[in-house]
């Protein structure tokens, strides 16, 4: 699978492209790429769009899922508002990551910091059909918490 990458306007071309840190990794790390080489401070409960400096072309039938990094989540409470984020195969604009600080201290997002990971995944588009009734199941319409803890 090849994902074509292009630097966004104003991006720092010296930062690394997404890469897998181990041979068994499912996600490739994405870095913050601030045009001014600066950063942003996330106060507790604050969120910000963090630029990656990348645009991409994904093959039709696939998506790129943007996910939080577990180390940032555990150590600092940093996550993503829309986890996982989806980059559709027909999107060609700059990729950004919407980070949120769920911790209790300010967190500095710096230029070049690994802020998220991307996973390439297949997509199946469904055909939607309106019907009068649905087939019965044992669970039925029982929802939130109905299967126990």
What region, left, alpha or beta, does residue 102 occupy, with left being phi > 0 and alpha being psi -120 to 50 degrees? Answer: alpha
* DSSP assignment of 37-100: S-EEEE-TT-EEEEEEEEEEE--TTEEEEEEE-HHHHHHH-EEETTSSEEE-TT--SEEEEEEE
Of 18, 98, 12, the C-alpha closest to 58 is: 18
Of 85, 120, 123, the C-alpha closest to 1 is: 120
Q: What is the pLDDT of residues 35-75, one digit of tens each?
A: 999 999 999 999 999 999 999 999 999 999 999 999 999 99
**Phi, psi dihedrals of residue 73, rounded to the nearest 5°:** -65, -50
Judged against a pLDDT cut of 90, whether residue 120 lies above it is answered with yes
Domains of the chain, earliest start first: 4-15+24-122 (2.70.40.10)
pLDDT band at 140 (very low <50, low <70, confident <90, very high): confident
Task: Give just the sign of the alpha carbon dihedral 21, 73, 56, 11.
Answer: negative
Of 54, 13, 56, the C-alpha closest to 37 is: 13
Q: What is the pLDDT of residues 60-117, one digit of tens each?
A: 999 999 999 999 999 999 999 999 999 999 999 999 999 999 999 999 999 999 999 9
Of 71, 64, 69, the C-alpha closest to 119 is: 64
**Residue 3 to residue 62: CA distance in whole angstroms:** 10
């Amino acid at each position: 699978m090849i994902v074509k990458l292009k630097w966004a306007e104003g991006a720092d071309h010296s930062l690394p492209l997404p890469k897998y840190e181990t041979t068994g990794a499912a996600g490739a790390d994405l870095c913050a790429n601030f045009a001014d080489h600066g950063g942003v401070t996330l106060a507790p409960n604050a969120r910000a769009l963090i630029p990656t400096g990348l645009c991409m072309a994904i093959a039709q039938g696939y998506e790129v899922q943007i996910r939080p990094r577990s180390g940032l989540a555990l150590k600092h409470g940093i996550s993503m508002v829309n986890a996982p984020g989806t980059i559709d195969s027909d999107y060609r604009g700059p990729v950004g990551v919407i980070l949120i600080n769920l911790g209790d201290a300010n967190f500095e997002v710096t230029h070049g910091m690994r802020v998220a990971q991307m996973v390439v995944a297949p997509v199946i588009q469904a055909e939607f059909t309106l019907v009068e009734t649905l087939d019965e199941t044992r669970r039925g319409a029982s929802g939130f918490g109905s299967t126990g803890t």
